């Protein structure tokens, strides 16, 4: 992926939306896994959506974060260790965060949710000092 190969010089605004690199540890393999994800900023947190394009199966990175919420995020050239929190529709802040990240992504997440019966989680990524 160009974002990763360029060290973050290219790819942050992939297709006109802000994109970060999320590095998780594989739950089965223990290997580092990297995914480019659209994000929105919420105070000091970054918000991503585990949509998997509206597929019935959640993305692998979500499974990895359930197993180990410690991750690394890269925004442009800046890398930060981060802690993930997975929020389902029952979480008090879910609806607000969904709106924020959905609007940031031109309503695509609403379209993805319409494709699947599974509730799509929102994930907050809080950088660590």
pTM (2 decimals)? 0.90
pLDDT per position as a tens digit, 73-87:
999 999 999 999 999
C-beta of residue 53 within 8 angstroms of C-beta of residue 105: no
pLDDT per position as a tens digit, 101-121:
999 999 999 999 999 999 999
pLDDT per position as a tens digit, 14-62:
667 899 999 999 999 999 999 999 999 999 999 999 999 999 999 999 9
Range of the domain at 123: 2-127
Q: How many domains does the chain have?
A: 1
CATH number of the CATH domain containing 24: 2.30.110.10
d(CA 84, CA 21): 14
C-beta of residue 94 within 8 angstroms of C-beta of residue 87: yes
């Amino acid at each position: 992926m160009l974002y990763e190969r360029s060290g973050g010089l290219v790819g942050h605004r992939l297709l006109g939306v802000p994109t970060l690199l999320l590095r998780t540890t594989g739950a089965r393999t223990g290997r580092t896994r990297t995914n480019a994800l659209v994000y929105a900023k919420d105070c000091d947190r970054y918000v991503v959506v585990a949509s998997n394009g509206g597929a019935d199966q959640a993305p692998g990175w979500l499974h990895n974060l359930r197993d180990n919420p410690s991750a690394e995020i890269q925004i442009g050239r800046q890398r930060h260790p981060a802690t993930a929190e997975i929020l389902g529709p029952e979480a008090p802040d879910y609806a607000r965060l969904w709106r924020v990240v959905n609007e940031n992504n031109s309503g695509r997440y609403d379209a993805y949710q319409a494709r699947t019966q599974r509730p799509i989680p929102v994930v907050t990524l809080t950088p660590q000092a």
